[in-house]
């Protein structure tokens, strides 16, 4: 009723799959009902049974109830859930839409606020928001926001270039953490690079996580990116660990691969990654709507570096 069938994640249209995730405690789904009718819902998704982190999302309200208190009830319920943190996870994250700022405003009100970390350009196909006027078609950028339930455990982070130092410092400081940002460089000692690939085929979107950097990192990463694009992915995100110094030419070579720095990604409180993205379609930055000033500053930084050599 909210998206018809334009929502890119098919689990919400698959009764059996949805039941499986709920039974395995990988999805906690909260409903708002009016009489015998479900008029709203939201979900918290966990990547595995360890519940190290949870993703808050899939907030939906039936179009005819969108002007009611349903949205406020969802925000209040999410606030209670995050404060309670039933599985004691390290952090919650959410991917906020940028077609409008409604979800961003809502998440900013939860507890002490979900904080912007990265903006993935052209991440997913735009859903059809029933009852909300917006430009349909094309792809939508996703703003990844985080609520840290405890302080970051890392004290130092190594980045690829001083160009990104200021915005990285601001993103981390906005979460009320203090991490020393360093631009020391070092060539990898290990011969082999280890990567993991996660693909969301319906959204034509893939994430390549660099687990460890070896001397062959450029050739390995290049092949993985080309493989994903050849398979039909329209957006590829790459995350790079910051726990040790990076190669001195990494930023230039990432730019040569048409990757653009888009912020930070958190794997755990001890593992903060640099986030880059590649999109096969042109980006219309004027269509990206952001609420938080630090998110707006991140967008300006991305736009300044988009398509520009180091």
Choose among 20, 75, 82, 73: nearest CA to 54: 82
Per-residue b/e over 63-88, b at no fewer than 16 CB within 10 Å? eebbeeebbebbbebbeebbeebeee
Which pTM was predicted?
A: 0.90
What six digits make up the tokens of 82? 């995050």
What pLDDT does 278 receive?
A: 96
Question: Count H helices, E strands: the chain?
Answer: 7, 13
10-148 placed in CATH 3.40.630.30:
yes
The whole-number pLDDT of residue 307 equals 62
CATH entry, 156-281, from 1.10.3470, 3.40.630, 3.10.450, 3.40.50: 3.40.630
- Encode pLDDT of 97-127 as tens digits: 898 888 899 899 899 899 999 999 998 877 6
176 close to 149: Cβ distance less than 8 angstroms? no
> Residues 6 or more apart from 219 whose CB is under 8 A from it?
none
Give the model confidence (pLDDT) of 181-217 as tens digits. Answer: 999 999 999 999 999 999 988 889 999 999 999 999 9
- The pLDDT score that the predictor gives to residue 12 is 80
Distance CA 196, CA 240 (A): 11
Find residue 199's DSSP bridge partners: 206
What is the predicted pLDDT for the residue at 200? Answer: 87
**Residues lower than pLDDT 50 in the chain:** 309-310
**Residue 125 pLDDT:** 75
Task: Sketch the domain layout of the chain as residue ranges.
Answer: 10-148, 156-281
Domain 10-148 and domain 156-281, same fold? Reply is yes
Cβ atoms of residues 181 and 157 within 8 Å: yes
| pLDDT computed for residue 127 by the predictor | 61
């Amino acid at each position: 009723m909210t998206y018809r069938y334009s929502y890119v994640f098919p689990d919400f249209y698959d009764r059996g799959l949805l039941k499986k995730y709920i039974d395995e405690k990988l999805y906690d789904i909260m409903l708002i009902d009016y009489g015998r009718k479900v008029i709203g819902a939201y979900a918290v998704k966990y990547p595995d049974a360890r519940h190290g982190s949870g993703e808050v999302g899939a907030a939906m309200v039936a179009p005819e109830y969108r002007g009611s208190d349903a949205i406020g009830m969802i925000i209040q319920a999410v606030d209670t859930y995050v404060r309670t943190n039933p599985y004691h996870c390290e952090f919650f994250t959410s991917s906020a839409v940028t077609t409008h700022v409604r979800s961003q405003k809502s998440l900013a009100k939860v507890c002490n606020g979900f904080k912007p970390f990265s903006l993935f350009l052209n991440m997913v196909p735009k859903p059809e928001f029933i009852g909300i006027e917006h430009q349909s078609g094309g792809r939508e950028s996703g703003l990844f926001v985080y609520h840290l339930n405890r302080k970051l455990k890392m004290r130092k982070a190594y980045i690829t270039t001083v160009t990104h130092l200021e915005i990285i410092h601001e993103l981390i400081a906005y979460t009320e953490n203090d991490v020393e940002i360093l631009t020391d460089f070092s060539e990898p000692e290990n011969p082999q690079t280890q990567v993991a690939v996660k693909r969301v085929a319906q959204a034509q979107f893939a994430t390549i996580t660099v687990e460890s950097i070896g001397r062959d990192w450029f050739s390995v990463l290049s092949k993985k990116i080309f493989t994903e694009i050849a398979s039909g992915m329209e957006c590829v995100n790459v995350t790079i660990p910051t726990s040790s110094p990076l190669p001195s030419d990494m930023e230039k070579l990432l730019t040569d691969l048409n990757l653009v720095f888009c912020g930070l990604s958190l794997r755990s409180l001890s593992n903060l990654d640099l986030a880059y993205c590649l999109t096969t379609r042109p980006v219309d930055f004027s269509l990206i709507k952001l609420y938080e000033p630090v998110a707006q500053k991140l967008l300006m930084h991305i736009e300044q570096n988009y398509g520009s050599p180091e």
